Amino acid sequence: MPHRPPTKEELEARKIVGINEETVTNVNSTDFPHHYAGEDHAWDLEAFRREFRVEFHQNDPYEASFSLIGCHASIANAFRRIMIADIPTLAIETVFINNNTSVIQDEVLAHRLGLIPFKGGKEGLHKFLKWWKKPADESQINNSYYDFNTVSLRLEVKCEENPDAAPGETDPTKLYKHAHVYARDIEFCPVGRQHKYFSGENAIRPVNPDILIAKLRPGQEISLSMHMHKGVGSDHAKFSPVATASYRLLPVIDIIEPILGKDAEKFQKCFPKGVIGLERVTKEEASRKGSGYEGHEGELKAVVVDPMRDTVSRECLRHPEFKGKVKLGRRRDHFIFLVESTGQWESDAIFLEAVAHLKKRAKDIEKQVMNMVR
Amino acid sequence: MAPAPLDDGFEALLEPFYNGKKLTDPISTKEDKYQLLPAFLKVKGLVKQHIDSYNFFVEHEIKDIVRANRSIRSDQEKDFWLEFTDIRVLTPTRNDYSDFKARDEVTPMECRLRDMTYAAPVVVDIVYSRDRKRIVRKDIPLCRIPVMLKSSKCVLSKATNAQMEIMNECPLDPGGYFIINGTEKVILIQEQLSKNRVIVEADEKTGGVQASVTSSTHERKSKTYVILKKDRIVLNHNVLVEPIPIVIVLKALGGLSDYQILELVAGGDALYQDDFLVNFDEATRAGVFTQQQALEYIGLRVKMGGSKKGRSPNAPRRSPVEEGLDALTNLIIAHITIEDLDFYPKAIYIAMMVRRVLMAAHNPKLIDDRDFVGNKRFELAGQLLSLLFEDQFKMFIASLKGNMEYFFKKPNRTSAYDPVGPISSQGQYITQGLNRAIQSGNWTVRRFNMNRAGVTHVLSRLSYISALGMMTRISSQFEKTRKVSGPRALHPSQWGMLCTSDTPEGEACGLVKNLALMTHITTNADEEPVKDCIFDLVPGVEPIRVFTGSEMHRPGSYIIHLNGTPFALTRHPKQFAARFRTLRRRGHISPFVSIHTNEHFSAIHIATDEGRICRPYIIVKDGKSRLKPEHLRLLQLGKASFDDFLRLGVVEYLDVNEENDALIAMNEDEITRATTHMEIEPFTILGAVAGLIPFPHHNQSPRNTYQCAMGKQAIGAIAYNQFNRIDTLLYTLVYPQRPMVITKTIQLIHYDKLPAGQNATVVVMSYSGYDIEDALVLNKASCDRGFGRCQVFRKYTAELQQYANGRKDRLGGPQKDEEGRTIAKHACLDRDGLAIVGYQIRSGETMIMKETPVDVTSTGIGGDRGSDAYVPAPVNYRINDPAYIDKVMVSNTEKNTAIIKVQTRQTRRPELGDKFSSRHGQKGVVGIIVNQEDMPFSDSGIVPDIIMNPHGFPSRMTVGKLFECLTGKAAVVAGRPDYGFGDAFRSHPVEEMGRVLIEHGFSWEGKDYFTSGITGNPHEAYLFNGPIYYQRLKHMVQDKMHSRSRGPRAILTRQPTEGRSRDGGLRLGEMERDCLIAYGASQLLLERLMISSDATQVDVCEACGLFGYKGFCQTCQSTANVTQMTMPYAAKLLVQELISMNVGVRMQLEDKFPHPR
């Protein structure tokens, strides 16, 4: 059979993941060699360079949203996975409890402390601090802590009666001093070069000072010191720099046949606000033969305004009146990322770090492969 | 000043703003009638039946018992008499109270911690004679009786939350149990067939019909039968040697003529007359014509011995007539008392039984249903205790009398008899008897020949729900082994009274039941006021005594039975019942007295007895509900209580029998002219435990039953005081959560305050293959963040005893090695010999360094001195996984010996194989824990905590779980907790939930687009997801994991020990052995059964076939033929044991594979 090169529409259709009422179709990309007879689809750097784009939609310190357009799902997913599990952060790893007479047990207290996100000087955090490795010989553990791999913290809180409390007061926070222990009560104890990297504005401190750690009553006391180390999210979720990092594909809404009047309003309600707009059918449209608008001049018609806002709830597929009039899909190579930082990294920096990480890994594997073939 | 309102936890439900409703909102009786339920629980409560019954015992019953046995007279000293005038139960005190201690009131918590019994002293007032003078002594301590928590005698009754906190008690604790020697004991509700009621049953084998009645009086319990067999009717009783023809019995009962007897039994009905006439022949044949002859006939057939006991041995032997008279008066149908030798009531009663038998013989429909709940009575703690106390008190009186006689027997007495000392010293046996019974659960009442085991149980404190579930549990007297379906089946009359779902699986299925939410069990109401009003209600009600049989059985005449006994006669039954009910609704008669008409037997039954099961209903009159919006308004304002409504005639209690007279509408729409009552709330047919399930009416029914069993195993918060208690084993969840979807029951029983589970984000999909057979996939990051994290606390106790020779156990310090360092085993010990709080403790390390004296027998007098040495008797930590020392408690017991309790703590995160379950009977173990990045994620970044395999749904049909997920999701995305309700039998707006989901950009049916975390591609199907409440169950791998290569062996057989706790081997059982034999794996068989087990080398003499020793045969006195062989030690043992029994065993050896020569 003679090969016919795909039309532009066909190529475009291959990029769309089909969103049907009960199924998702066409989920795998097919633009790789030997999939279509007579078509090459070999990966081409030039083409990638030409096609690939990054668009930022939102870039706040703790939340960033951006689109990766024109890359493969495996690459986008790799970034997502690296952001969750492989970017190192500093977190409390060891808790030395001197005294804990609160109701919270030592292990639970330690667990709660570990989950508190911290921030500090970027240079110190990302460049100066290195990994801490637990020495093989357990007895040498105290010789393994240095200023470049361990950050020391302290928490000393004692609850006492508040002599100034009004008589008849029932609120424990007013009745007692230090009835609540918050993350802000954690004290940073810099040593060595840490003074240089983590002083003033750059001091290591909790991202959110209002995290409640424990509640105390008069006579109860928490006295402990902590060691922070660098770690990665695959070890423990507390090391993950993101609250979540995920992506979605850009929704595509195709109105195949005109949706008019009351139906159009209903159609609009099937989508989140701002996705579907209502426009009047113009004279020109109404006069065009075969457009479906004949004789509907001045009526409202549904038009797609901003598909990116769609949450793909597929509500429009449920109603019989829209049957065959609309086709939903998602662009396979348009990834809308949402990165929520826990605060130690800027949210955009996490992504950049993830790119760097992937690059480094690729380099590593290149070296290994070279060694192998040599 | 008005007393502060009790903070009992029901405030929220009665608050004006409850459920988004404001005070000004219109009240619809249709929607809001359920508000009566919290009002009911406020006055009655879930364990109120236990507490009410106990209160009734300590306040009234105990006084009645003493009154019935109040006087003692001496046989020796005729002038002496002693009388108990009053008995009182005081508030609980310390037993080891002394003048040195400032306070003697005791809290339950102290009893739990110090292993004491929470008991109150009982004092009596006595009057006795001394030198012909009347001496009055008051407040003489008699004994101590265990106090039920939250009963009227308990310090917790009427305590506010603040006071509870000071006493270290949980305000949500239901109470209703006892504390005996530090353990919490519950007396389960006992179900039995009702007493003093006639039950007609058919004998399936012979086709005969019999009526039986269990007569229960304070003195004795006995059963009388009236049996119809081959057209003849006989009466039988335990005390009779053989059944006695019924006519003879009726003749013996007060000189009735044959005609009178016939009338009494059959009335004017020719059918019954014909049937009964043959029985007169029996009497004629026996030659019985007069009362005298009848009595003699009976007297000759009364078993000797039984009635002999109580009589003094030298009393003259009685004539048969006297024997017969005695048997008829006191033994047969003993609950009908004979006054002034008037046997007519008893004759009426027996005639009624005969009539019932005759009627049932003609119409099998009139045979009673033994499983009908109206024929059941429920015995509660108070009744059981009163049985026991009465027995103990009678024994006390006997021993006091013995003591007295012993005193008066002395020929020359130095002083007058003072009973105060003996009362207190003999009274301790009552204390011991009560304590022992509750402690062991063996209820022994001698006068009833009652010997029941397993009446009490240790209160399960696994979770709040398990404790609560135990308080509502009912155990049946039926044998568990019998294969009967009747008593196990769900009987229609259980509707609303007993939970339809909460019953165990397996052998006790259907026999152990649970109370429904609104059930009340009656206590005894006085008969007298009821008796008085019966004659005044309707004109023409006359006592039954004045009627002849024909008048009684005339059509249209109704016999009014009072507690099963014919009492009066009326011709206006409907009017009578209506007036009686009106009187009850007005509060002139106790609300728990029930009345119902039985058209079949033309009878009206009034019941005032205890143990009937009943529940409240809204009264409907003339097609209109008596519950008006203003009533609910008063309720919301807190100006009316449930009891007020009872008095106002808005609601009333109906017992199971009276329910049969009522037409009950489920809701206002169903009311017709004929309707008499309306349900308060349909979901109250479920109990407290089944009430946890959201949407139970959408589940397959066994699933709800499974959840009822599993809800009790869920780990969570058990009580507010959980960290102050030291329980043998305590499981707690680190971060328990209130369920996203709750029910009103959950609020009512405060499960939302002491929850046991967490709201997990669940995605229903197949993932990785590690999720087959209900296994779950868990998110590792969720576990890192604290999902399913639980703690296990264990108690270790040591008591420092004192020995008879004055030596005591002591605590030693940690041992040191040569270099002065503490040995590793004692790393946790402080200098006082106790583990240090906060230290990690590993297997084999010592927690309590107890030392016992070597010499505990020598007296120390003269030369009798033993060694002064002490040997260590440490309490060691034996579990493989380390724990932390949580608490160390040192105190002393009531016996004044020191008691040390050490509590250890483990914190566990979920691991492979740990068991989880949702609230729909869907349990599963963790199959794999997956990294967060490998989990599927939704558009909004949702990553599941749990992935559940969809194959769990089709066969289980737990639609409720889907509803829970959807409802929970809607409630979460909308931030509306009021959406999250899943009450049973309430239509639920699932469409509404779908709409909410759409509004927030989700799919209407809860199925969303997910992306695979592994490939990054979308999943080809939409995945159902949302929050589902998951319970972590107590079965954890860490407690069960076991393996062994080498290890300990049993001494006798030298085979490996059994069980994980003894580091035992895993048994290759018979069936496994069969497989190996069938397969022919002989070497494997040999290895498993002998070499790896108990192989032993023995010397066998081939000449004599006996065992030799060291190559020498003792029998043959030679080494010539002795060879060595390997055999199982158990076989060797068997041979030797047989020899020791003079059974000769000879072994003949031959080579299976002879050496080729």
**Rg of chain B on CA atoms, in Å:** 36
Count Cβ atoms within 10 A of the Cβ of residue B825 and give its class: 0-12 exposed, 13-18 middle, 19 or more buried.
Answer: middle
On whether both B1022 and B1062 belong to a single domain, the answer is: no
pLDDT digit string, tens, across residues B797-822: 999 998 888 889 999 889 888 888 88
Nearest-CA distance from B453 to chain A in Å? 41
Count Cβ atoms within 10 A of the Cβ of residue B886 and give its class: 0-12 exposed, 13-18 middle, 19 or more buried.
Answer: buried
Nearest-angstrom CA–CA distance, B1150 and B1139: 22
B886 half-sphere exposure, CB direction, 13 A CA radius = 27
φ, ψ at B81 (rounded to 5°)? -145, 155
| B1142 is a domain residue | yes
On whether both B924 and B822 belong to a single domain, the answer is: no
Mean pLDDT of chain B: 87
On whether both B784 and B915 belong to a single domain, the answer is: yes
Nearest-angstrom CA–CA distance, B1009 and A23: 9
Q: Please report, for chain A, the start and end positions of each structural domain, with discontinuous segments joined by +.
A: 12-20+45-87+241-254+329-373, 89-240, 257-324
Q: Which residues of B touch A76 (CB under 8 A)?
A: 1016
Q: Which of A24, A100, A244 sits opposite B1018 (nearest CB)?
A: A24
| B191 is a domain residue | no
pLDDT at B1129: 95
pLDDT at A107: 94
Three-point CA angle B375, B377, B378, nearest 5°: 150
φ, ψ at B1117 (rounded to 5°)? 50, 45
pLDDT digit string, tens, across residues A48-83: 999 999 999 999 999 999 999 999 999 999 999 999
Tell whether B995 is within 8 A of chain A (Cβ). no
Contact B336, B544 (CB under 8 A): no
Helix B48-56 and helix B381-409, axial crossing angle in degrees, nearest 10: 30
Q: Which of B101 and B259 is assigned the larger pLDDT?
A: B259
Tokens of A23: 């199924």
Residue A31 has pLDDT above 60, yes or no: yes
pLDDT band at B306 (very low <50, low <70, confident <90, very high): very low
Tell whether B991 is within 8 A of chain A (Cβ). no
| B467 is a domain residue | no
pLDDT at B480: 64
CATH of the domain at B710: 2.40.270.10
Count Cβ atoms within 10 A of the Cβ of residue B296 and give its class: 0-12 exposed, 13-18 middle, 19 or more buried.
Answer: buried
Nearest-angstrom CA–CA distance, A31 and B1096: 73
Nearest-CA distance from B901 to chain A in Å? 18
Domain A12-20+45-87+241-254+329-373 classified CATH 2.60.40.420?
no
On whether both B168 and B53 belong to a single domain, the answer is: yes
Tokens of A162: 């508040």
CATH of the domain at B413: 3.90.1100.10
Q: In this complex, do B1018 and A249 lie within 8 Å of one another by their Cβ atoms?
A: yes
Q: What percent of chain B has pLDDT over 90?
A: 46
Nearest-CA distance from A200 to chain B in Å? 31
On whether both B76 and B111 belong to a single domain, the answer is: yes
Sign of the dihedral through C-alpha A272, A273, A277, A278: positive
Contact B971, B992 (CB under 8 A): no
> Could you confirm whether B774 is annotated as catalytic?
yes
Contact B378, B613 (CB under 8 A): yes
Count Cβ atoms within 10 A of the Cβ of residue B977 and give its class: 0-12 exposed, 13-18 middle, 19 or more buried.
Answer: middle
β B1095-1101/B1023-1033 pair status: unpaired
Q: Which of residues 720-779 of B touch A (CB under 8 A)?
A: 723, 734
pLDDT band at B12 (very low <50, low <70, confident <90, very high): low
Nearest-angstrom CA–CA distance, B261 and B257: 6
pLDDT digit string, tens, across residues A82-107: 999 999 999 999 999 999 999 999 99
| B41 is a domain residue | no
Which stretches of B331-472 are assigned E, i.e. beta strand? 376-379, 443-445, 450-452, 456-458
Tell whether B886 is within 8 A of chain A (Cβ). yes
Domain A89-240 classified CATH 2.170.120.12?
yes
Residue B280's nearest CA partner among B269, B270, B267, B294 is: B294
Average pLDDT on B617-634 reads 86
Tell whether B909 is within 8 A of chain A (Cβ). no
Residue B916's nearest CA partner among B952, B941, B888 is: B952
Which candidate in B7, B778, B932 is best for mutational testing of the A interface (most A CBs within 10 A)? B932
On whether both B970 and B926 belong to a single domain, the answer is: yes
Tokens of B1140: 């020791």
Q: In this complex, do A81 and B1013 lie within 8 Å of one another by their Cβ atoms?
A: yes
Contacts of B1050 (CB under 8 A, 6+ apart): B1056, B1057
On whether both B806 and B904 belong to a single domain, the answer is: yes
pLDDT digit string, tens, across residues B68-103: 888 888 888 778 888 999 999 999 988 765 655 656
Q: Which residues of B touch A30 (CB under 8 A)?
A: none
If one counts the domains in chain B, the total is 6
Contact B964, B741 (CB under 8 A): yes
pLDDT digit string, tens, across residues B221-230: 888 888 888 8
Residue A125 has pLDDT above 60, yes or no: yes
| B1027 is a domain residue | yes
Contact A354, A339 (CB under 8 A): no
Least confident of B155-159, B381-385, B407-411: B407-411
Tell whether A317 is within 8 A of chain B (Cβ). no
Residue B1064 has what DSSP assignment? P
On whether both B919 and B1068 belong to a single domain, the answer is: no
Q: Which of A27, A84, A238 sits opposite B1017 (nearest CB)?
A: A27
Contact B892, B876 (CB under 8 A): no
Count Cβ atoms within 10 A of the Cβ of residue B485 and give its class: 0-12 exposed, 13-18 middle, 19 or more buried.
Answer: exposed
pLDDT at B959: 93
Q: Which of B86, B644, B727, B774 is catalytic?
A: B774
Q: Which residues of A touch B781 (CB under 8 A)?
A: 233, 237, 240
Tokens of A271: 């989508």
Residue B1002's nearest CA partner among B958, B942, B1044 is: B942
Which candidate in B1022, B1024, B1025 is best for mutational testing of the A interface (most A CBs within 10 A)? B1022
Contact B610, B383 (CB under 8 A): yes
SS3 A229: strand
Q: Rounded to whole angstroms, what are the CA distances from B288 to B236, B247, B273, B285? A: 18, 9, 20, 8
CATH of the domain at B1098: 3.90.1800.10
On whether both B58 and B179 belong to a single domain, the answer is: yes
| B486 is a domain residue | no
Residue B1117 has pLDDT above 80, yes or no: yes
Contact B525, B590 (CB under 8 A): yes
On whether both B224 and B83 belong to a single domain, the answer is: no
SS3 B1085: helix
Tell the residue number behind the tokens 């008409």, with chain if given: B597
Tokens of B876: 């060691």
**Number of separate helices (H) and strands (E) present in chain B:** 31, 52
Tell whether A327 is within 8 A of chain B (Cβ). no
Nearest-angstrom CA–CA distance, B998 and B1002: 5
Which candidate in A81, A93, A217 is best for mutational testing of the B interface (most B CBs within 10 A)? A81
Nearest-angstrom CA–CA distance, A336 and A350: 15
Residue B949's nearest CA partner among B983, B968, B923, B915 is: B923
Average pLDDT on B484-488 reads 79
On whether both B832 and B807 belong to a single domain, the answer is: yes
pLDDT at A101: 94
The most confident of B72-86, B353-367, B486-500, B694-708, by mean pLDDT: B694-708
Residue B58 has pLDDT above 80, yes or no: yes
On whether both B177 and B266 belong to a single domain, the answer is: no
Report the complex ipTM: 0.95
- Identical fold between A89-240 and A257-324: no
Q: In this complex, do B734 and A28 lie within 8 Å of one another by their Cβ atoms?
A: no
Burial B598-618 (b: 16+ CB within 10 A, else e): beebbbbbbbbbbbbbbbbbb
| B115 is a domain residue | yes
pLDDT at B624: 87
Q: Which of A100, A237, A318 sits opposite B785 (nearest CB)?
A: A237
CATH superfamily of A257-324: RNA polymerase, RBP11-like subunit (3.30.1360.10)
Contacts of B1004 (CB under 8 A, 6+ apart): A313, A315, A318, B994, B995, B997, B998
Q: What percent of chain A has pLDDT over 70?
A: 99
Contact B493, B372 (CB under 8 A): yes
Q: Which of A103, A107, A313 sits opposite B907 (nearest CB)?
A: A107
Nearest-angstrom CA–CA distance, A201 and B495: 70
- B622-631 LR contacts (CB < 8 Å, sep 24+): B622/B673, B623/B671, B623/B672, B623/B673, B623/B675, B624/B671, B625/B29, B625/B668, B625/B671, B625/B678, B626/B650, B626/B651, B627/B29, B627/B33, B627/B36, B627/B651, B627/B678, B628/B29, B629/B26, B629/B27, B629/B28, B629/B29
Tell whether A223 is within 8 A of chain B (Cβ). no
Contact B149, B178 (CB under 8 A): yes
Count Cβ atoms within 10 A of the Cβ of residue B824 and give its class: 0-12 exposed, 13-18 middle, 19 or more buried.
Answer: exposed
Average pLDDT on B549-577 reads 87
Contact B905, A105 (CB under 8 A): yes
Q: Which residues of A touch B782 (CB under 8 A)?
A: 237
Q: Which of residues 38-77 of A touch B (CB under 8 A)?
A: 73-74, 76-77
- Boundaries of domain holding B921: 692-789+911-1032
Residue B784 has pLDDT above 90, yes or no: yes
Residue B20 has pLDDT above 50, yes or no: no
Q: Rounded to whole angstroms, what are the CA distances from B180 to B145, B148, B431, B434? A: 10, 10, 12, 10
pLDDT band at B16 (very low <50, low <70, confident <90, very high): very low
β B603-607/B558-562 pair status: parallel
| B506 is a domain residue | no
pLDDT digit string, tens, across residues B325-366: 888 888 888 888 888 778 888 888 888 888 888 888 888 888
B663 half-sphere exposure, CB direction, 13 A CA radius = 13
